[in-house]
């Protein structure tokens, strides 16, 4: 359950302003008493995003720039839907750079995305357990 997620989200936002903020569409669920739905959505996001990042790593190791762009695009959309704007921005950068950047540059962006994903998940977990 997510008691008082609005208050917790504000605290999380002040600590890391662009990392994660529960979007209005999910706050509507909280405001109507459906915190469990929000918790489930955030859990699914975390699970799916980890898989997408693994697929991104595989595409990078295979030099498959089309798959790199596809995984980054899909992850960008999912991150945007749950308010993980820092992760969405990194994924957008990977998507844009997928065709022309060097492999090491793309790998650095992917590493930053993994780090941002971890921080975002910790923020989400902290908010849901408060």
Angle between helices 35-62 and 65-82 (to 10 degrees): 160
d(CA 76, CA 67) in angstroms, rounded, equals: 14
Tokens 């989400």, residue located: 124
Per-residue confidence (pLDDT) for residue 18, from 0 to 100: 78
Nearest 5°: CA angle at 79, between 110 and 19?
80
d(CA 21, CA 52) in angstroms, rounded, equals: 21
Per-residue confidence (pLDDT) for residue 85, from 0 to 100: 96
By the 8 A CB rule, do 69 and 99 touch? yes
Task: Give the number of domains in the chain.
Answer: 1
Domain holding 88: CATH number? 1.20.120.160
Q: What is the pLDDT along the chain (130 residues), one digit of tens a residue?
A: 443 433 333 333 334 457 999 999 999 999 999 999 999 999 999 999 999 999 999 999 999 999 999 999 999 999 999 999 999 999 999 999 999 999 999 999 999 999 999 999 999 999 887 7
Which domain does 15 fall in, by range?
Answer: 5-129
Per-residue confidence (pLDDT) for residue 128, from 0 to 100: 80
């Amino acid at each position: 359950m997510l008691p008082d997620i609005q208050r917790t989200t504000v605290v999380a936002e002040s600590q890391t302003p662009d990392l994660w903020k529960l979007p209005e569409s999910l706050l509507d669920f909280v405001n109507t008493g459906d915190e469990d739905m929000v918790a489930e959505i955030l859990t699914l996001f975390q699970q799916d995003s980890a898989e997408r990042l693994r697929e991104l790593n595989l595409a990078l190791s295979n030099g498959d720039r089309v798959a790199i762009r596809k995984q980054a695009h899909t992850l960008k959309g999912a991150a945007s839907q749950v308010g993980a704007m820092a992760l969405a921005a990194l994924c957008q950068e990977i998507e844009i750079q997928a065709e022309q950047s060097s492999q090491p540059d793309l790998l650095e962006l992917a590493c930053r995305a993994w780090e941002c994903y971890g921080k975002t998940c910790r923020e989400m977990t902290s908010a849901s357990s408060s």
